[in-house]
Structure 1
Amino acid sequence: MKKFVRFIALSLAVIGFSTVAKADFEYKEAVMGDENAPVTIIEYASYTCSHCADFHNNVLPQIKKDYVDTGKVKVIFRDFPFERLGATAAVLSRCVDPMRYLGFNSLLMKQQQQWAYSKNPIDGLFKLAKLAGMSQEKIDSCLADEKLLDKIIAVRKAAMDEHGFDSTPSFLINGEKVVGAGEYERFKSIIESKLD
């Protein structure tokens, strides 16, 4: 794990972020829905994971409509990056204005094919961050924040150590482990069982 953190820090330094003034961005839990909802879904995902994008684009909207918007479910988003690009996207997502996090999260997943698999994915990622209201200065400062990256890596490590997760997306639904994106009906069945 330490090698992974050093690799990310070194990679960011190599692409030009080591000389930027550091700011302390706080890692805050990103939550969609009523804090008091009876069912909690915790999602562990990477912005470069195609199955995660599939979940966000095809399953989550229906969960939101049927359960989040009705106050029955809250969704907590946690980062689980596997490589430098995913870690960079995770760091940037935690630096956007908190009121814009859900929109930026959705944008990264919807546009994943366009930015993550382009010839210059960092450029594509920065363009999306700017659409979310981040200046280049804020982007650079955010990416220089080693504490934020350390927290993201710690969240990933905790998911591995405490829950045995080693792939994305992975979920905890009121404590029940669910691995893989799957279909809406699969999630509906589990949610309904938790509401009984």
Structure 2
Amino acid sequence: MLRKLIGAATLSAVLALTACSGKDTAPAEGDMALGAPEGAKVTVVEYASVTCSGCAAWNEQVWPQFKAKYVDTGKVRYVFREFPTPPQDVAVAGFLLARCAGEDKYFHVIDQIMRSLPELHSGTPPRDILLRTAREAGLSEAQFQTCVADPAGVAAIEKRIKAAQDAGVTGTPTFMINGEVVADRSLDGLSQRIDPLLSAK
């Protein structure tokens, strides 16, 4: 069971998530980013979880168009920040796996886990889903086992959770454009906030 692999300390930290005030606009440790370089005119930060249905829906329905319009063109810096949600042990293991797969495969692994949520909800054992994803990313079962039980990786996620709390994040998906929370996560809603910033002098 993944709960045994993660460890009680991490689970207690994840389960104790509470809301804090403040905004985070500066780069943070562990940021995974695509598109424009640091210091871009527009930075879009998404706090998400691989076990969040809303995140998975955005990933499938909006992300491809958003990526093509803003990320692939280098207009916007897109930053993905990890914020585990229930089942938290599975989310933590998924994030650890994505990082173990390497930076070049990180977003692909995140995508694959999110697309597997219907299986998870239908009763497929989470370990089966994650192990399959690990193998597709080129990791052996032994490497997967070591990865999801890595104390340093677990500690790093705990720090990222705390940073998200300090940024005022209480749930996922949460989107911020240049540090301001955005409620409308549709492509049109995001574009209405992004385009004026891009055209401003």
Same fold per TM (> 0.5)? yes
Which of 135, 139, 148 is matched with 2:144 structurally? 139
Could you tell me which residue of structure 2 aligns to residue 9 of structure 1? Answer: 7
2:95 is equivalent to residue 90 of structure 1: yes
Structure 1 equivalent of residue 14 of structure 2? none
| Whole-angstrom CA distance in 1 between matches of 2:122 and 2:99 | 22
Separation in structure 2 between the aligned mates of residue 177 and residue 170 of structure 1, nearest angstrom: 7
> What corresponds to 2:118 in structure 1?
113
- 1:28 positional shift: 4.2
Distance 1:109 1:141, change over 3 A: same
Q: Which residue of the partner structure matches residue 177 of structure 1?
A: 181
CA contact (8 A) 1:48 1:112 kept: yes
1:159 shift after superposition: 1.1
Equivalent residue, structure 1, for 2:35: 33
Q: Contact 1:48–1:116 (CA<8 Å) still a contact in 2?
A: no
Could you say if the C-alpha distance between residues 130 and 11 of structure 1 is closer, same or farther in structure 2, counting changes exceeding 3 Å?
farther
The code of the aligned residue for 1:69 comes to D
2:7 is paired with a residue of what secondary structure?
helix
Q: How much has 1:7 moved relative to structure 2? A: 10
Q: What do you get for the CA RMSD once the two structures are aligned?
A: 2.3
**SS of the residue 1:94 aligns to:** helix
Does the C-alpha gap of structure 1 residues 117 and 45 become closer, same or farther in structure 2, counting only changes over 3 Å?
A: farther
> Aligned residue for 2:64?
61
Cα distance in 2 for partners of 1:117, 1:182 equals 27
- Aligned partners of 1:39 and 1:108: how far apart in 2? 28
Match of 1:3 in 2: none
1: CA distance between counterparts of 2:124 and 2:113? Answer: 17
Indicate the residue corresponding to 1:160 in structure 2: 165
Q: Does 1:125 align with 2:156?
A: no
Cα distance in 2, alignment partners of residues 105 and 7 from structure 1: 19
Structure 1 runs not aligned, ≥5 long: 1-5, 13-26
Query: Is the alpha carbon distance of 1:164 and 1:150 closer, same or farther for their aligned partners in structure 2, counting shifts above 3 Å?
Result: same
Residue 30 of structure 1 aligns with an amino acid whose one-letter code is M
Identity %: 34
Quote the offset at 1:8 in angstroms: 4.1
| Cα contact 1:32–1:102 (8 A) shared by 2 | no
Distance 1:134 1:7, change over 3 A: closer
- Does residue 188 (structure 1) correspond to residue 191 (structure 2)? The answer is yes
Residues 13-67 of structure 1 deviation map (CA, whole Å, 9 limit, x = unaligned): xxxxxxxxxxxxxx84321113154211111111000000011111111111111
**Number of equivalences:** 175
